[in-house]
Amino acid sequence: MKKTLYLLCIMFAVLSCTNDEEPLRLCKSEISIPYCEIFDLKANKDCIWSTDNSWVASVYDGRVYSLHLGTANITAEHDGEKVSCKVTVTPVSNLYQDPILDFGKTATEIKTKETNKLIEDHSSETPDFYIEYGSTDKKIARILYIFKNEKLIISRIDFYKTYVGSQEIFDHLLERCEFIYIYNDGEWFAGGGLYACIRNSSLYFKLYYSNTQENILILNY
C-alpha cells in the first residue's frame, strides 16, 4: 500500500513538473469576432486574463466579449509568463462605408484617400471651407468634409430618407459608439475618441462625425 502511494506521488510530481515546464500557449494567436459575439480562448495552464482595450473587447476566464469595432490584445498570464491573442471586432451592419475620419488632416491628405467623385472643392477660398463628394451608394446624397483653419474637423454623410431610416443609422453607430442622449435636435453617440450625431432635415438624415462634440455643436450647416 505504501509503495503504491509512493509511486502515485512520484507520477503526480512528474506530471506537474512536465506541465510547468511547457511554455504557455493559447489556442489562437489572432481571431476576428463579429460585433456583440463571444469567443472562448483556451490556454494550456490556469491563467489571469486581461485586455489592453476594454472599449473593444473584454475577457473573463478566457471568454472574450466583442463590444465595439476595433482591435484589442487579450493577454493570459501564468507565473509571470505571458502570451497574447490579437482580437479584431468586425461589423455586423454594413449599411454604409464610414467616411474618412482623419481629423486634423489637410484637404490634400483627405483627397488622396477619398475614392468617391469630387463634386465641390472650396479649399482655395478661405481657411474654413468644405469639400463635397458624391457616392455610388444610392442611400447617400453626399459626403462632406468640413475644415477649420485648413484642418478637418467634421466628416458628414447625408442619407436620403427614401432609402434609409434613422433606426438603421442608429444601429450601425452602436457598433462603433454608445448612445449618450438626445440634445440640440440630434441623437448623440460617443466612444473610442469619436463623437457622432444624427440630425433630421426635410430631405436627409445628416450624420456628423468629429473628435470633439463642440465641433458639431457650433456647425451652422
Identify whether residues 61 and 140 lie together within a single domain: no
Whether residue 159 is contained in a domain is answered as: yes
The CATH number covering residue 140 comes to: 3.40.1000
Is 59 part of a structural domain of the chain?
yes
Distance CA 130, CA 146 (A): 4
- Whether residue 18 lies inside any domain: the answer is no
Residue 19 domain flag: no
Q: pTM for the whole thing? A: 0.80
For residues 72 and 38, state if they share a domain.
yes
Q: Are residues 115 and 68 in the same domain?
A: no
User: CATH number of the domain that 50 lies in?
Assistant: 2.60.40.1080
Given a cut of 70, the residues of the chain with pLDDT beneath it are 1-20, 220-221
Asked if 43 and 132 sit in the same domain, the reply is no
pLDDT for the residue 180 = 95
For residues 142 and 191, membership in a common domain is answered with yes
Quick one: cell of 30?
489572432
Is 96 inside any structural domain? no
* Domain presence at residue 187: yes
Do 132 and 175 belong together in one domain? yes
Please tell me the predicted confidence (pLDDT) of residue 18.
45
Could you list the residue range(s) of the whole structural domain that residue 172 is in?
107-217
Model pLDDT for residues 147-165, shown as the tens digit of each residue: 999 999 999 999 999 888 8
CB contact burial 45-71 (16+ within 10 A = b; e otherwise): bebebebebebbbbbeebebbbbbbbe
Give the C-alpha separation, 177 to 190, whole Å: 5
- For residues 119 and 165, state if they share a domain: yes
For residue 126, CA distances in Å to 51, 114, 147, 211, 218 come to 45, 21, 10, 22, 18
Q: Which amino acid is at 123?
A: S
Both 111 and 210 in one domain: the answer is yes
Which own/partner contact pairs does 53-56 have at CB distance under 8 Å and 24+ positions apart?
55/191, 55/192, 56/87, 56/89, 56/192
> Does a structural domain hold residue 112?
yes
Q: How many domains does the chain have?
A: 2
Tell whether 85 and 114 lie within a shared domain.
no
Q: What's the pLDDT score for residue 26?
A: 93
Residues 82 and 137 placed together within one structural domain of the fold? no
81 and 128 share a domain? no
Does residue 210 sit in the same domain as residue 130?
A: yes
For residue 139, tell me if it sits in a domain.
yes
CA pair distance 100, 154, nearest whole angstrom: 10
Residue with cell 489562437: 28
CB 37: neighbour CB atoms within 10 A? 13
> What span, in angstroms and rounded, lies between the C-alpha atoms of 94 and 62?
29
